[in-house]
Amino acid sequence: MAERALGRSGLTISPLAFGGNVFGWSADEAATHALLDECVALGIQCVDTADVYSAWVDGNTGGESETLIGRWLTRSGQRSRVVLATKVGKWGPRAGLSPANIQAACEDSLRRLQTDVIDLYQAHADDPTVPLEDTLGAFSRLIEQGKVRAIGASNYSAARLAEALEVSRRHGLPRYETLQPEYNLVDRAGYEAELEPLVREHGLGVIGYYALASGFLSGKYRNEADAAKSPARGAQVVARYLNPRGKRVLSALDDVASRHAATVAQVALAWLIARPGLSAPIVSATSVAQLRELAAARALCLSKADIAALDGASSGG
């Protein structure tokens, strides 16, 4: 499948990106390197991480994911085949989007990643305490210094993203070329209502996270007992999604999957890949076999009837 542009950045990626949130958490260094080797072999160029991954693990402080990626880049010599995306500012010691914090956080990320440049540097969350002109000015200086190629926004509201784009236009500053929103078959309204029209109007790339709704859209959670399959988040996923609408979506996924001899997860990803304006959903895996299964979604072509069935089952959310 053809690569897709990330806004006007000049960067292009396969219609699937890999999420590095598992690195230093459920994937140790050996597993991380095996997964990254397989990403390259499968033509999945974009690896998305953040400076705080995986600070939620006991004993971690953040930066573990970037560190493991950096070791792999040095070992493998594959830097030229990877679109490296990371994020700054959500929480932890480098929280916020002040110019000083952005500059320092970028230096830290470059050191951990063992690279000279970050392809896509994203604001992990909006920081309303800092004027957008200051935040974008800091990103501009990083681009001028050759440390960042393009910038993006994650978890921005439509209003704040529109304001940021206008600030960039008015002051001649680099604009956010990508948006990273939560988006999947059971979490649609937050993106589709206001963000989707905005990003399509301005030609931004979209790299959506939680593509499989924390595993729900893999078919892993079909009843209350299934929550025990994942003690860390199973109960939370079941409580959020295992309702009449969620069950309708799973039923529709089952039907489409059976027609294509595909897995439920592959169909859920193929629906996202077929969405106009979406550059790539982000997927995570902890084994090479799992990654190969998910990567096969790129070759799954859903019919208009398939998409209509999935849209109908998931409407209203």
The set of catalytic residues is: 53
Written as six digits, the tokens of 94 are 């480098």
* Contact assessment for residue 161 and residue 175, using Cβ atoms and an 8 Å cutoff: no
**Residue closest to 91 by CA, chosen among 75, 81, 78, 105:** 105
Q: How far is CA 114 from CA 24, 69, 159, in A?
A: 17, 9, 36
For the chain, what is the radius of gyration of the CA atoms?
Answer: 19
Give the chain's length: 317
Q: Is 170 exposed, middle or buried (0-12, 13-18, 19+ CB in 10 A)?
A: exposed
What does the alpha-carbon distance between residue 206 and residue 183 come to, in Å, rounded to a whole number? 10
How many other CB atoms are there within 10 angstroms of residue 260's CB atom?
15
